[in-house]
């Protein structure tokens, strides 16, 4: 298995991007990644687009994007894994290099969600158990996570205040990240007093609907020598997991089995322990999701996620700084872009380029955790420099 390095990263501004089209948004991230890598467009052998896509822009988004950015002759496929589409695309491009198929590849994660008429019905509502729970009981995406939250509160005495603290942290860091959708700090009261979406989740417990793109340029260990790249960020492992979407078949509502599968696989391949990770991006589509991720990724013991945020351990200076870019919660969550954007942030952290949000590092090990739907998919990526 060949080693794979990240040699260039780019991230568009996240938010309501009615100023650009779908391919233009992808181009923003692509251009930055190409300049960051310092290579020519011709050096890229393969392009993988990660996106859910939508009817408005085309049923076939990859050629549309590759055509616009000048990679029409390098783009053989689109990869989709709902909210984890960006990570699934990274996984595919990684394998194409690790298998010695190509020496370089670009991953482009992109989504334009703010102008679509279907987001609440199919794209969001249908992220659970589509043919049964959604249609029969009206279980929407927020209500699935509300179910997880009430289960966690009942079993582990997790509180609404603890959930709110996740939102406060993530909005705080988003306010320092010019690419984040939200740029304002909030307080615990802001969250607690916001309107209930599905109890105990309130408006500020939920990530927004955002437009955005992120791009990653990968190269094999041999290729980086030819390109003169020194000291890159390495992908040590990508673990994957998946699980039933039918909640009646799940063993536990306080944990995501797919996260446990993916992280166990990634830790094992990378020969890394949870306590080695110095900075993390986790999938906080709702505040409870971040608490569950702390536990499932073994940053703390099961049931102690609330305590971890209470103690400030996931802020810079704490045990495991998490979502220092604002997370899905406040940076935004353009489905296909999210997984790539997580790796964009961690690559820059590992390169000490994060300015006033820089996490102090010793081991230079980082972890990205990207979930699709209500845990049907999960990818855990471990990076090291």
Using CB under 8 A as the binding rule, whether residue 77 contacts a second copy is answered as yes
In Å, the largest CA–CA distance within the chain is: 57
- Measure the CA–CA gap between 374 and 385, rounded to whole angstroms: 32
d(CA 274, CA 60): 39
Q: Are the beta carbons of 247 and 226 closer than 8 angstroms?
A: no
Q: How many CA atoms lie within 13 A of 150 on its CB side?
A: 10
59 binds a second copy per the rule CB under 8 A: yes
- Which range of residues in 28-36, 71-79, 194-202, 342-350 is near a second copy by CB under 8 A? 71-79
Q: Of these, 39, 79, 153, 218, which contacts a second copy (CB under 8 A)?
A: 79
141 or 344: CB nearest a second copy: 141
Residue 225 C-beta: closest distance to a second copy, Å? 20
Contacting a second copy within 348-377 (CB under 8 A): 372-373, 376-377
- Footprint on residues 112-131 left by a second copy (CB under 8 A): 118, 122-123, 126-127, 129-131
Min separation Cβ 258 and a second copy, Å: 8
Closest approach of Cβ 168 to a second copy, in Å? 32
Structural element, H or E, at residue 236: strand 233-242
Distance of CA 202 to the CA centre of its chain: 22
Among 26, 52, 14, which Cα is nearest to 377's?
52
Q: Which of residues 256-285 bind a second copy (CB under 8 A)?
A: 257-258, 261
Helix ranges (DSSP H) in 275-351: 287-296, 305-310, 335-350
- Closest distance to a second copy from the beta carbon of 285 (Å): 15
28-36, 67-75, 189-197, 276-284 -> range binding a second copy (CB under 8 A): 67-75
Looking at 61-69, 161-169, 188-196, 279-287, which segment touches a second copy (CB under 8 A)? 61-69
* CA triple 340-346-352, angle to 5 deg: 140
> Contact between 242 and a second copy (CB under 8 A)?
yes
Catalytically active residues, by annotation: 83, 333
Structural tokens at position 87: 């990570």
* Token digits of residue 3: 């080693």
Q: What angle do CA 204, 18, 26 make, to 5 degrees?
A: 95
Tokens of residue 294, six digits: 């702390």
**Beta carbon of residue 114, minimum distance to a second copy (angstroms, whole number):** 17
Among residues 247, 242, 54, the alpha carbon closest in space to that of 136 is found at 247
58 touches a second copy by CB under 8 A:
yes
The residues near 89 (Cβ < 8 Å, ≥ 6 apart) are 48, 49, 50, 79, 107, 108, 109, 336, 339, 340
Report the 10 Å Cβ neighbour count for 304.
18
Contact flag: residue 1 with a second copy (CB under 8 A): yes
Q: Which stretch binds a second copy (CB under 8 A): 78-86, 277-285, 322-330, 351-359?
A: 78-86
Using CB under 8 A as the criterion, which residues of the chain lie in contact with a second copy when the complex forms? Answer: 1-2, 46, 52, 54-55, 58-60, 62-64, 66-67, 72-82, 88, 91-92, 94-96, 98-101, 118, 122-123, 126-127, 129-131, 240-246, 257-258, 261, 372-373, 376-377, 379
């Amino acid at each position: 298995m060949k080693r794979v390095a990240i040699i260039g990263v780019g991230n568009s501004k996240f938010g309501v991007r009615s100023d650009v089209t779908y391919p233009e948004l992808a181009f923003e991230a692509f251009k930055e990644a190409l300049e960051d890598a310092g290579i020519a467009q011709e050096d890229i052998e393969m392009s993988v687009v990660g996106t859910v896509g939508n009817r408005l822009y085309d049923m076939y988004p990859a050629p549309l994007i590759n055509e616009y950015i000048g990679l029409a002759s390098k783009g053989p496929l689109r990869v989709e894994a709902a909210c984890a589409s960006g990570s699934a695309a990274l996984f595919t491009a990684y394998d194409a290099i690790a298998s010695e198929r190509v020496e370089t590849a670009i991953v482009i994660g992109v989504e334009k969600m703010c102008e679509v008429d279907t987001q609440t019905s199919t794209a969001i509502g249908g992220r659970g158990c589509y043919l049964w729970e959604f249609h029969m009981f009206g279980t929407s995406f927020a209500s699935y996570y509300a179910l997880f939250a009430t289960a966690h509160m009942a079993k582990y005495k997790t509180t609404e205040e603890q959930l709110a603290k996740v939102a406060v942290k993530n909005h705080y860091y988003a306010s320092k990240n010019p690419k984040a959708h939200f740029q304002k700090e909030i307080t615990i009261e802001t969250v607690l007093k916001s309107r209930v979406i599905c109890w105990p989740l309130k408006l500020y417990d939920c990530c927004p609907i955002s437009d955005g793109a992120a791009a990653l340029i990968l190269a094999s260990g041999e290729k980086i020598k030819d390109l003169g790249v020194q000291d890159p960020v390495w992908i040590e492992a990508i673990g994957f997991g998946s699980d039933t979407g039918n909640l009646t078949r799940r063993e536990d509502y306080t944990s995501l089995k797919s996260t446990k599968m993916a992280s166990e696989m990634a830790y094992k391949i990378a020969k890394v322990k949870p306590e080695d990770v110095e900075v993390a991006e986790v999938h906080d589509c709702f505040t409870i999701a971040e608490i569950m991720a702390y536990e499932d990724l073994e940053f703390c013991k099961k049931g102690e996620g609330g305590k971890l945020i209470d103690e400030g351990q996931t802020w810079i200076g704490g045990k495991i700084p998490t979502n220092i870019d604002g997370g899905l919660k406040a940076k935004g969550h353009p489905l296909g872009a999210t997984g790539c954007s997580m790796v964009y942030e961690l690559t820059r952290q590992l390169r000490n380029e994060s300015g006033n949000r820089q996490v102090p590092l010793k081991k230079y090990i980082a972890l990205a955790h990207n979930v699709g739907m209500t845990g049907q998919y999960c990818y855990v990526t471990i990076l090291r420099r």
